[in-house]
């Protein structure tokens, strides 16, 4: 039994070494968000591992603020509880990757709450969470391994830099 177990361990070790030698690299994404030159958030994460598994990137700090939404129906009203994120968040999702080339979708938020407003008729009042600050969604970005890109956020006070490396 010990002889068979030793043979099995040796075979698994050789298979593992062969797989490690032929597997693809991990692709690591570094993200840096700044406002008027002051760093706000930085982080690094593997977005595609050596086995080809992709993971979205998420960096977030803030809170969800609850609010109510009223909808008039033919036979009454419908009340729904909703949530709005307020704070800082950077999301990067891989839409397509081939080799060391990635097509990404980026969203960035850096908001503060300025209050909750009431809207609608007296018999069906809804709330709206008011915010100010940066809130951009679904920016398409192409990034190749070893390269750095500035993501266009539409606000000159903010800068978002992505860097992709193969390890």
**Residues forming beta bridges with residue 33, ordered by sequence position:** 41, 160
Q: What are the phi and psi torsion angles at 153 (to 5°)?
A: -100, -10
In three-state secondary structure terms, 6 is: helix
Q: What is the mean pLDDT of each run of 10 residues along the chain (167 residues)?
A: 54 49 83 97 94 94 96 94 96 94 97 96 96 97 97 96 95
How far, in Å, CA of 70 to CA of 23, rounded? 54
């Amino acid at each position: 039994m010990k002889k068979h177990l030793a043979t099995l361990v040796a075979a698994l070790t050789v298979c593992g070494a062969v797989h490690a030698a032929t597997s693809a690299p991990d692709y690591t994404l570094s993200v840096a968000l700044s406002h008027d030159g002051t760093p706000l958030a930085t982080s690094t994460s593997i977005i595609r591992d050596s086995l080809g598994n992709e993971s979205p990137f998420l960096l977030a700090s803030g809170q969800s603020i609850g609010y109510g939404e009223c909808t008039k129906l033919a036979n009454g009203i419908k009340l729904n509880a909703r949530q709005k994120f307020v704070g800082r968040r950077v999301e990067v999702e891989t839409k397509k990757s081939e080799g060391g080339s990635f097509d990404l979708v980026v969203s960035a938020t850096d908001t503060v709450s300025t209050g909750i407003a009431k809207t609608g008729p007296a018999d069906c009042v809804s709330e709206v969470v008011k915010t100010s600050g940066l809130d951009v969604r679904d920016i398409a970005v192409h990034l190749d391994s070893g390269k750095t890109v500035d993501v266009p956020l539409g606000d000159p006070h903010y800068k978002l830099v992505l860097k992709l490396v193969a390890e």
